[in-house]
Amino acid sequence: MSETLTIDHLGAQGDGVAVTPSGPVYVPFALPGEVVEAEVRKGRASRVKLQQAAPERAEPVCRHFADCGGCAVQHLELEAYRAWKRDKVERALQARGIDVAVEPLVACPPQTRRRVTFTARRLGSDILLGFNAAQTHRIVVIEECPVATPGITRALDDLRDLAKAIAATPKPFHMTVTETVSGLDIAVVGAGKLGEKQRRAVVDMALSKQVSRLSADGEIIVEGNKPAVLFGGVPVAIPPAGFLQATAEAENAMAALVAGHLEGCKHVADLFAGSGTFALRLAQKARVYAAEGDAAALAALDNAARQWPSLKPVKAEKRDLFHRPLLVKELADFDGLVFDPPRAGAEFQCRQLARSTVRRIAAVSCNPGTLARDLAILVEGGYRVTSVTPIDQFLWSPHVEAVALLEKKPQRR
């Protein structure tokens, strides 16, 4: 049975939320102020029919929108969309009692996402390659992607050919494609075990399509030349499917904020350092200690630093910061620090930082909730949040990056 619903606000994942006597109802692709007719089950609406559109409703830029599960809010007018993203950060901070003015959202343009993970599946003699529809395992075959770089979009036919060649199972598998300065780096997971004949065919095809590197389940199948990215002009040979900021534009914006805040620091720590996104930039002016739990990423950072003699000394240490954070005594060596943890945040590390004498901290996060929690710990320890800048690294998705800058005045002896 259909119900008439009026949308009150946008939810955290981009759904319209209708407030009803039975509780909130989440309505996909609906906007505040709109009136819809829909069937409701367990708080979610389906078979939605738009009765009254909001003035903020915009025409989606992609033909696959609302079917493909990659984007959530292409239908929202640009300024309202940016305000929603900024508001997500602002609300998370307010919930933790952090009183700081949130800067305007740093926008990232379309066609800049340099890493995309596709789902693929062999279907008889054909191959499906695309993205999963929202909350399903159904693969939506795509012909365009306004988020991805033009280099990835142009390669869609080649990627389908490679997926078909490497598929050794009828089950779905993932293909992560990264555009680097030396070509496409393709990392396949779950495609099945390759036989020798199939492996040779895959190698020949990858070379013919000028793929920089192709790996399967962590094993390098063929590497025509090492995929490399530039971190502040320093070339880094990244590991297969290793962590990389989704867009170079967002990375540069974050790096500029971090570098500006740590300007003048002599000895800097980079925690959850990855392959050197911040460390190699900071090492142009300061000694750097870089800690990272992933051995392959850390090796890429270390090798890049050793081959770039103009950098200040970089010490790289493999360290699981979730279970073995830097202690207060160790932190005494640094006058500046940046941390960029996974979505879970850096709670245990922040508890040590809160007791430290590090003068300046830059906190980078892709999760406003855990960022706010970590900042609250630091504020309780005497730090002052001087600015928070949201960055739209994940265009048209519910996710938002943020960089928070903090200071602690030296204690009088």
Residues contributing to the annotated binding site = 245, 272, 292, 340
Q: Respond yes or no: is residue 366 known to be catalytic.
A: yes
Side chain identity, residue 79: E
Residue (of 353, 236, 244) closest to 305 by Cα position: 236
E strands in 197-323? 213-216, 219-223, 228-231, 234-237, 267-271, 287-292, 314-318
Q: Which of 71, 145, 350, 366 is catalytic?
A: 366
Residue (of 402, 409, 351, 360) closest to 380 by Cα position: 351
- Cα Rg of the chain, angstroms: 23
Report how far apart, in Å, the C-alpha atoms of 289 and of each of 162, 267, 317 are: 40, 8, 8
Q: Using an 8 Å Cβ cutoff, are 316 and 290 in contact? A: yes
φ, ψ dihedrals at 325, nearest 5°: -65, 160
Separation CA 61–CA 176 (nearest Å): 23
Write out the two tokens for 152: 């990835």
> How do 115-123 and 23-27 pair as beta strands?
unpaired
Which region, left, alpha or beta, applies to residue 64 given φ > 0 means left and ψ of -120 to 50 means alpha?
A: alpha
Separation CA 18–CA 10 (nearest Å): 9
Separation CA 382–CA 76 (nearest Å): 40
Annotated binding site for S-adenosyl-L-methionine: which residue ranges? 245, 272, 292, 340
Side chain identity, residue 215: S
Please state, as a whole number, how many other Cβ atoms lie within 10 Å of the Cβ of residue 248: 17
Write out the two tokens for 122: 């062999």
Give the residue carrying structure tokens 């830097």: 326
Catalytic residues: 366
